[in-house]
Structure 1
Amino acid sequence: MSTIGSPTSKYAHRLRVWTDLRRLNAALPDSRFGFDFSAFIPDFRGSSSAIEHLVDLPCYKSSRTIFIAPDNSLQGLRFRALKDGKRVLTTTYAIRRGFILLDPGRIEQDSLQLASLLDGMERPSIGTSVSISQMHEQIGRIGLCVTGAGAIGSNGIRIGKDHGFFDLAWGMLFDRELVNTETPVAAIVHQCQVVQVEQHDAEQFVAAPWDVPCNLIIIPDKVYRVAGLPKPQSGILWNKLEPKQLESILVLQELKGIQMMEKIMKAGTGNPEPAKPKETEPSADELLGIQMMERIMKGLKP
């Protein structure tokens, strides 16, 4: 564990941790991105020991379905969870093709390791693509969420690649009531990725409204239990999204359409009179919601 010396930016902490991962020969390269840690969360030497600590925890043992982020450092955990008979929900890289459900009851035993790989989980007879509208029926409650991190403060605040994909996935799952503020969140990291947050520097690891803090920080030789930081009380904060996120992540568009449909249905409940047409043009958000509603009604996947 490293210690923050003087006030600096999250970006500086991230760079320092990335440097330590290379200096200690701890990080393993990605087949496509090499050691470009801005593009992926690396696996590290000793991650299998950290996984053993996690699977010994009651929250793992009691979970039937676990959300495990598509990080390189968690490939071993995805494989272990499938071997243990647990269903694994994950996302495709950058959530570009949405969520994938891996059900070991529907996957051949000799294909479980292939299923744990990003390049394998979408192959025929392996993973199942799950839309937002299908989540309650096909998944139900998630008992545990696990993520990697570029760096993580000792208070449980993660610093990733600065894309926020785990927070987006959490927000969508929260909106559909698959997770809540009591759902445990664990991070599996190398010890050099844990930054000791001192009192006078705590402002560098303050949670944004959409940040999901971790209850558990698991390194190869120890489990840190973190308490005190609340999880977000809402789902996706639409006004905080970057435009490119809504454009490139189709399940976000689907969720917005579903929310719009639910809003319209709720507004019409108990009102037998037809709604009067609006005098103003619909907003861009409303137009997107209407378009997504039309796609859902036609039975098209986003």
Structure 2
Amino acid sequence: MTGEDSRWAQRNPIKTAARNRVWERLVAAGVNVGPTFDRIPNFVGADAAAKRLADLDAWKRARVVKCNPDPPQIPVRLRALYDGKLLFAPVPYLSERFPYLRIDPEKLAADHVDFETAATAQGFMAYGEPVRFEDMPKLDLCVVGCVGVTRRGGRVGKGAGFADLEQGIFRELGLVDDSTPIATTVHSSQVIDESEVVMEGHDSALTIIATELELIETHTPFRQPAGVAWDRVRPDQFSDIPFLADLRASLERKRGP
């Protein structure tokens, strides 16, 4: 499989080319873990990157953490649970009627569910509590999955647009603000040149990047979007994400005329 086979390849040719180069680089270097193309790639050193993230004061202060559901962030979710943080993870591909799972380490312990199981997508889908966006508390730190990143906070995901969509929803609901750290963990070979990523107005920039080799605080110059750019949400996202149309209607009612 190649990056051109991705269902999202035609959305942005520049970003598609960047993610293809990263996927190919990971495989050529032999630092991928499992399949790579068309996904947030797992990588050798994911544990070390998660430890670097967890050493940050911003992580230590955070009581409520949101993390993407992908395999390379299993170590991040596991550290959140062992550190006693209330964890929220989205349903993979946002494919259910509810968008998120609430994973409470105290409840897991009371139910004799080991954290290693609960940190996987299968585990938190089985043992997490389904929640709506509207029922989530304010988030202290957000972790997103990335294919490629730049030192100034630019990012490309796998192309589906889930991360930017959820960040926009969080902002509309007041769950995050400009002070909320947005972090990721990636392999050092996923850090790419600034010229390879074009940041658009609806894109959320990273403030923290942790690799197996270093921690990057981006001091990003990119302005974070104020909410969802509904004009950029594609028809297939409305058809594939069961709750999205209802959520848009609810948010627009709250905004008023």
Relative to the length of structure 1, the TM-score reads 0.75
- The letter for the 2-side match of 1:37 is F
> 3-state DSSP class of the match of 1:122?
helix
Local SS of the residue matching 1:74: helix
Over the aligned positions, Cα root-mean-square deviation in angstroms equals: 1.7
Q: Please report how far the alpha carbon of residue 12 of structure 1 lies from its aligned counterpart in structure 2 after TM superposition.
A: 2.3
Q: How does 1:131-210 map to 2 (within 5 A)?
A: 131-135=132-136, 140-197=137-194, 202=195, 204-210=196-202
Q: Following superposition of structure 1 onto structure 2, how do residues 260-299 of structure 1 map, counting pairs within 5 Å?
A: 260-263=252-255, 266=256
Q: Measured at CA, do residues 36 and 220 of structure 1 come closer, stay the same or move farther in structure 2, by a change above 3 Å?
A: closer
Q: What SS is found at the alignment partner of 2:23? A: helix
Q: Identify the residue that residue 13 of structure 1 maps to in structure 2.
A: 18
Instruction: String of CA shifts for 1:115-157, please: whole Å, max 9, x gaps.
Output: 111112121xx2011113322xxxx221111122111122211
Q: Gaps (5+ residues) in structure 2?
A: 1-12
Of 214-223 and 246-255, more deviation after overlay is shown by 246-255
Q: Counterpart of 1:9 in 2: which secondary structure?
A: helix
**Amino acid of the structure 2 residue aligned with 1:254:** D
Give the letter for the 2:80 counterpart.
A
TM-superposed deviation, 1:196: 2.7
CA shift in 2, pair 1:239/1:9, >3 Å: closer
Tell which structure's C-alpha radius of gyration is larger: 1
Deviation by residue 1:24-59 (Cα, 9 ceiling, x = unmatched): 111111xxxxx2521x21221111111111111011
| Count of residues in Structure 1 that have an aligned counterpart in Structure 2 | 241
Matched, 1:37 2:13: no
Question: In structure 2, which of residues 76, 97, 120 is the aligned counterpart of residue 117 of structure 1?
Answer: 120
Alpha-carbon distance in structure 1 between the residues aligned to 2:83 and 2:102: 15
AA at the equivalent of 1:114: T
| Superposition pairs of residues 42-57 of structure 1, within 5 angstroms | 42-57=41-56
Deviates more, 1:148-157 or 1:184-193: 148-157
Residues 131, 251 of structure 1: 8 Å contact kept: no
Residue 230 of structure 1 deviates from its aligned partner by 3.2
For 1:162, the aligned partner's letter is: G
Q: TM-score, normalised by structure 2?
A: 0.88
Check the 8 A contact 1:83/1:112 in 2, yes or no.
Answer: yes
Distance of 2:171 and 2:146 partners within structure 1: 20
Which 10-residue stretch deviates more, 103-112 or 55-64? Answer: 103-112
SS at match of 1:145: strand
Aligned residue identity for 1:253: A
